[in-house]
Amino acid sequence: MQGSLRRSIFALAMAFAVAGALGQTTTAPDDPAGGKPAAGAPPGFVVPADPKPGDTEAERTKSQPGNNAPIWRATRDSGNHPGVTTLPNNEGATLIQRFVQYPGSAYTTAGEAWRQTRNQWIVPYGGSLLLIVVVAIALYYVGRGSLGRSTNAGASAIERFTALERAAHWVNAAAFVVLALSGIVIAWGKFFLLPVLGASLFGWLTIALKTVHNFIGPLFVVSLVIVFITFIKDNFPQAGDGAWLKKAGGMFGGPEVPSHRFNAGEKVVFWLGVFVLGALVAVSGLVLDQLIPAVANVRGNMQIAHMVHATAAVLMMCLFLGHIYLGTIGMKGAYRAMRAGYVDEDWAHEHHALWAEDIRAGKIPAKRSSSPPPAGLHTAKEGA
């Protein structure tokens, strides 16, 4: 085919293509607001109105097909708008929880609100409080050393805790320590253990500890109830408790203030720690373990139970750190009282003078069970 002919056909084709493209851009379609169909639109075609925020899904499929904002808004508010899901569990109809405000969170979907309360309040402030208590106890120990003069190793002995009381105490104490340590890893392990162990080992450890936590929890609840029943008798307010509280028992200076079997500080730990915080931690823990049939296993209940559980557990750990400190190195001879059950008269007079006087006066028996004193010790009466 002649060169010139080929070129003119090519030029013609290019002209058509350019004309076609120009036709696209330059000819602005009619003003949509006017609703007049654009050139080439099928006859009778009506430009749909802009989507309105309040559109239902049905309206939106017309106003802006493919834009499913209404269905996702309804999903987020699935408590408020009808919708259908095929999810199996009893919360199948709630894909995204409704808006709530939990302590310290924004007003947002419940899952997000819980996440904010946990990550912005419970974890940072709870963790800081625990560290502050540990540092305060360490500074107190450095400043004051072990309290008391008597080492509780004297000849004559008084039965302070029976074998049954000690068994109840130590089962509860052991369960508490396991729960506290596993709970600390679950809540704060990613800050101090994950960097050391790496993701997979930390993952396995946390799963194992969470499983231990879920199983030891119910045991702790039972032993806590037993401890409450076992020790309640001597934890009611008595004369002298007010004076003890006023001077904090002499723990920050001055002589130790006389007290009955348990001093006012131990009674505060009993009612606040064992009873109030213990009950909150126990009940919320049983809900999280799904062991209370009356409480439905739905996210809202679990979120509230978790926030109560974690907060009460942090406060309980702070309180019992003090108890454990005084029950080990913080007071001479105290550990032996709960370990062996017996104290000597000197220790009893120094730390629980009103109790020791009642024993001397015969109002309270020096020996309350048939379990013998540890080797080398004998009861006050026998020794007199």
Give the residue ranges of DSSP H helices in the chain: 3-26, 57-63, 69-76, 110-117, 123-144, 163-192, 194-197, 199-231, 241-246, 264-268, 278-288, 299-325, 334-340, 345-351, 353-360, 380-383
Q: Residue 319 and residue 379: Cα distance in Å, rounded?
A: 33
Q: Residue 115 and residue 225: Cα distance in Å, rounded?
A: 32
Least distance between ligand HEM and beta carbon 307 (Å): 21
Over the window 57 to 96, marking each residue x when it contacts ligand HEM by CB under 6 A and - when it does not, the resulting string is ----------------------------------------
When binding is defined by CB under 6 A, the residue of 102, 114, 244, 262 that contacts ligand HEM is 262
When binding is defined by CB under 6 A, the residue of 55, 159, 256, 266 that contacts ligand HEM is 266
Site residues for ligand HEM, window 336-375 (CB under 6 A)? 337-338
Q: Residue 87 and residue 73: Cα distance in Å, rounded?
A: 18
Task: Extract the tokens encoding 307.
Answer: 């926030």
Residue closer to ligand HEM, measured from CB, 114 or 161 = 161
Q: Residue 249 and residue 39: Cα distance in Å, rounded?
A: 94
Q: Is 265 in the site for ligand HEM (CB under 6 A)?
A: no
Q: Is 173 in the site for ligand HEM (CB under 6 A)?
A: yes
Task: Return the SS3 of 251.
Answer: coil
Antiparallel, parallel or unpaired: β 156-159 and 342-344: antiparallel
Residue closer to ligand HEM, measured from CB, 224 or 302 = 224
CB atoms under 10 Å from CB of 57, counted, come to 16
Residues 309, 314, 317, CA angle at the centre, nearest 5°? 120
Query: Dihedrals φ, ψ of 200, to 5°?
Result: -70, -45
DSSP bridge pairs for 378? 156
Residue closer to ligand HEM, measured from CB, 114 or 176 = 176
Residue closer to ligand HEM, measured from CB, 245 or 295 = 245
Q: Residue 261 and residue 158: Cα distance in Å, rounded?
A: 12
When binding is defined by CB under 6 A, the residue of 179, 185, 227, 282 that contacts ligand HEM is 227
- Which residue number is nearest to ligand HEM in terms of Cβ? 327
From 16-24, 264-272, 282-290, 353-361, give the range in contact with ligand HEM by CB under 6 A. 264-272
Least distance between ligand HEM and beta carbon 289 (Å): 18
When binding is defined by CB under 6 A, the residue of 105, 172, 206, 259 that contacts ligand HEM is 172
Q: Is 271 in the site for ligand HEM (CB under 6 A)?
A: no
Q: Is 231 in the site for ligand HEM (CB under 6 A)?
A: yes
DSSP 235: G
Separation in Å, CA 55 to CA 33, 74, 117, 266: 19, 11, 33, 63
Over the window 34 to 63, marking each residue x when it contacts ligand HEM by CB under 6 A and - when it does not, the resulting string is ------------------------------
Site residues for ligand HEM, window 134-163 (CB under 6 A)? 160
Site residues for ligand HEM, window 296-325 (CB under 6 A)? 320, 323-324
Task: Return the SS3 of 259.
Answer: coil
Site residues for ligand HEM, window 324-343 (CB under 6 A)? 324, 327-328, 334-335, 337-338
CB atoms under 10 Å from CB of 18, counted, come to 10
Q: Residue 126 and residue 315: Cα distance in Å, rounded?
A: 8
Over the window 177 to 206, marking each residue x when it contacts ligand HEM by CB under 6 A and - when it does not, the resulting string is x-----------------------------
Least distance between ligand HEM and beta carbon 198 (Å): 31
Per CB under 6 A, residues contacting ligand HEM are 160, 169, 172-173, 176-177, 224, 227, 231, 235, 262, 266-267, 270, 274, 278, 320, 323-324, 327-328, 334-335, 337-338
